A and B are shown apart, each in its own frame.
Chain A
Amino acid sequence: MDHLLKEINQDFRFTCYNALACSKNDGIMEFVEDSTTIQEVLSSNNKDVTAFLKSQSDDPARQAEIMHNYLISNAGYAVATYFLAVGDRHLENLLVKNNGDLFHLDFGFILGSNPKSKGDFWVPPIRINSHMVRGMGGQHSKEYEVFKQKTIDAFLYLRNYRQLFLNILLMMVNASIPDLPFAQY
């Protein structure tokens, strides 16, 4: 998705880390430096993501840049996680880098599944939570409008590639990924 969007000159600031599975239960991957989980950010900044983003720099121009990074990475990941219906989104699977980029990790539950241990509750299709929105300045702020517009742009563009995404997923049907049970097809 990152490549597709970059082709039309839209950088949604995805954090793509390299990962390589060597067998079904071991592997090696890149560790993203200078990143903190939202959980830690909230507990150390009095439940306020904006304060964390502001504290990264004293320069107002840089602060605006960080806020912009935060907005568009939020928009990009909102669309990406919506497409894949990533489950198990809690505050420790959500990280933010020092330059404002937000990113998700741990895609163990995809295509609408969620951990059984957490009960069978309704999960909103778009993975945005109140802390993330408050970090943008609330639902009535100018930033939130930018975020919404960016999300819509990315969605409408990526929707043209739905057949590609379906093909990629169909190719993996026999890979014994729990959420892609091949017996059903």
Chain B
Amino acid sequence: MDEVEDKKPDFFETIIGAVSFRKKYMDLSNYLLKKTKKATEMQTELLREISGEGTGQYKLKFDNGLALAHDPNIKVYDCNIRRCRVFTSAVRPMRMVFESRIFPDGWQEGDKVPESKDYAAMIKNGDDMRQD
């Protein structure tokens, strides 16, 4: 009988990554909301944090790429800091722009690596996202 493999399946990493990413952005968002309520101040603070100049805890940079939870085909690598911003609507949603690669379904190691392009994601904390 074949022995049961003790190897984690590939998607395990994806899930762990997505969960840790969620924790990261929640921490960042809570930190910003605690610090200030004004959208403009939040934005300067956000830019400082993700560029690693602030407390240095909330830098969003993934050397091996991180698959986004809502669309795992998209792997993000680094923030495009100039294009990130905080919106003025009630819950202060953040637009995070990442350098990303969109891997088509069935992509395998050794296939052509897709081009890097910007991907914008909206992150909300404080509002029910099901209504969007």
Residues of A at the B interface (CB closer than 8 Å) are: 18-22, 24-31, 33, 105-108, 175, 177
Contacts and interface: CB of A to CB of B under 8 A. Distances in A.
A109 B80 CA distance: 34
A20 B131 contact: no
B70 A26 contact: no
Nearest to A30: B121
B22 A22 contact: yes
Interface of B: 22, 25-26, 29, 68-71, 95, 118, 120-132
Given A18-B70, A20-B70, A26 B129 contact: yes
B93 to A, nearest CB: 9
Contacts of A28: 22, 25, 68-70, 121-124, 129
B70 A29 contact: yes
A18 B72 CA distance: 11
Contacts of B124: 26-29
A33 B120 contact: yes
A31 B120 contact: yes
Contact of A20 (B95, B120, B127, B129): B129
